[in-house]
Chains A and B, each alone.
Chain A
């Protein structure tokens, strides 16, 4: 049980390459933090700095209020689950889990009971005498978690622990990790590039890009009000649709169509983002937002309609999420209905323009929503 505080944490490699820049984060006791970002965004480096596997070149790392920058990994009282499990291939499952305790000089009886308890929790009791090579991927993953649990560390660190598993197992293990963390309530920091894992596991999400933190917040906060175009595109599948727009007379225009209110400088180009589920497909000519249903993806519970919008001076493809019954014919002409309330406006630098969508009048949604309600 512990709080973890990152104060301006940064990493510059000896050659001058910067991997992580000034990360400030306070992780509350028992909180599940997920750090998410594309590969090379510095998220793994950040985790390894917390673990003590990379030296911290800037800032301070506090675990339970104590600066641990200079401590060895074993002295920080953390446990880490690696992507490729990193089990000791020549040791049995029992010994893999017991090794850390033995190095700490725990009594044999204590080790025995702790390992058996952890094995019980993870359903590994039958496998304690097996070698890692005799286990399936999911079982190995569990052993790796068991190795972390038995040490009863202050912080769990997960480095993309599920990416070596197949899709089905990944979903299952994701749930198990969540249950486990709820049950033992240990502060956890979890790194992944998979936004579904990120959304489902996190109490709070940290979205990173190019070594910098783009946004920190609850998963739904990042989903609904992304701080930047990058976060909007990274969180959610399919990602948020982006419509190029031009500001004119206090509104953002896509071609001739007014999408939403916008207080940006007159004539500047902005991007208007909208989630696939915040649009509906209407029969042709119901709204001025005209397009063609290029492709229909039927996923069962939902149907994704890829609509290409052609407009003088702007051509863009958007994805609409709709129920199967409302799906248009493939190749047919359709028009789109956009909920202005749910739109997010990004300035030319890709930062969200604060609270524009809410400031804009929802009841008078502009030209884009004549057919609503």
Chain B
């Protein structure tokens, strides 16, 4: 029974990781790549780690796995946001079929900060 649960969880997790890798190859744009990979890989690695916790059935392993999962869930969105912000500043191009770019013209080029005056208009 435990073996079957471990098999199911690790299969779902590794398939999610594979889908994220395929998305990294197939997506046309850097921003789409970030949005598809961060979520899928976080979920996939979380499921594989949970299957390891079920296999060992030990409080020390479970606490370690919980620490890793919480850390991943906290840091993956932050890292994606920071690298996407850097990509937008350095002028990474959008996909040619992108219909809107809300940030265009909102950043001041000199200070690289959001132009707050525009929001009130």
Question: Are both chains from one complex?
Answer: no
Q: Could you tell me which A residues sit within 8 Å of B by CB distance?
A: none
